[in-house]
Amino acid sequence: IAGCSKPEEAPKAQETDKYIAQPLVTEIFTADPSAHVFDGKLYIYPSHDIDTGIPDDDLGNQYAMRDYRVLELDKPGGKVAIGPVALDVDDVPWASKSMWAPDAAYKDGTYFLYFPAKDKDGIFRIGVATSDTPMGPFKAEPEPIKSSFSMDPAVFTDDDGTSYMYFGGIWGGQLQKWASGKYDPSIGDVDLKQDDKPALMPKVAKMAPDMKEFAEAPRDAMILDTNGKPVLGGDHDKRFFEASWMYRRGGKYYFTYSTGDTHFLNYAIGDNPYGPFTYTGHILLPVQGWTSHHSIVDWDGKTWLLFHDTQLSGKNHLRNVKMTELHFNADGTIQTIDPFKH
> Does residue 101 bind ligand FUB (CB under 6 A)?
yes
Closer residue to ligand FUB (CB): 2 or 54? 54
The closest of 11, 82, 9, 10 to 44, measured between CA atoms, is 82
Let me know if 17 is a catalytic residue: no
Give how many residues touch ligand FUB by CB under 6 A.
Answer: 13
Least distance in angstroms from the C-beta of 69 to ligand FUB: 14
Q: Distance between CA atoms of 89 and 75, rounded to whole angstroms?
A: 31
Let me know if 196 is a catalytic residue: no
Closer residue to ligand FUB (CB): 36 or 118? 118
Least distance in angstroms from the C-beta of 243 to ligand FUB: 4
> Does residue 242 bind ligand FUB (CB under 6 A)?
yes
Binding ligand FUB by CB under 6 A: which of 31, 44, 155, 321?
Answer: 31
Residues 141-170 that bind ligand FUB (CB under 6 A): 151-152
Radius of gyration of the chain (CA): 18
Peptide bond into 276 cis (omega under 30): yes
Q: Distance between CA atoms of 129 and 112, rounded to whole angstroms?
A: 6
Give the neighbor-by-neighbor strand order of the sheet with 223-224.
Answer: 223-224, 277-284, 265-270, 252-258, 242-249
Per annotation, catalytic residue among 15, 242, 271, 325: 242
Binding ligand FUB by CB under 6 A: which of 36, 212, 263, 293?
Answer: 293
Q: How many other CB atoms sit within 10 Å of the CB of residue 9?
A: 13
Closer residue to ligand FUB (CB): 157 or 292? 292
Closer residue to ligand FUB (CB): 78 or 145? 145
Q: Distance between CA atoms of 321 and 25, rounded to whole angstroms?
A: 7
> Does residue 295 bind ligand FUB (CB under 6 A)?
no
Residues 40-59 that bind ligand FUB (CB under 6 A): 47
- What is the longest distance spanned by two Cα atoms in the chain? 53
Sign, Cα dihedral of 141, 145, 150, 152: negative
Instruction: Catalogue the active-site residues.
Output: 32, 242
Residues near ligand FUB, by CB under 6 A: 31-32, 47, 60, 63, 100-101, 151-152, 242-243, 291, 293
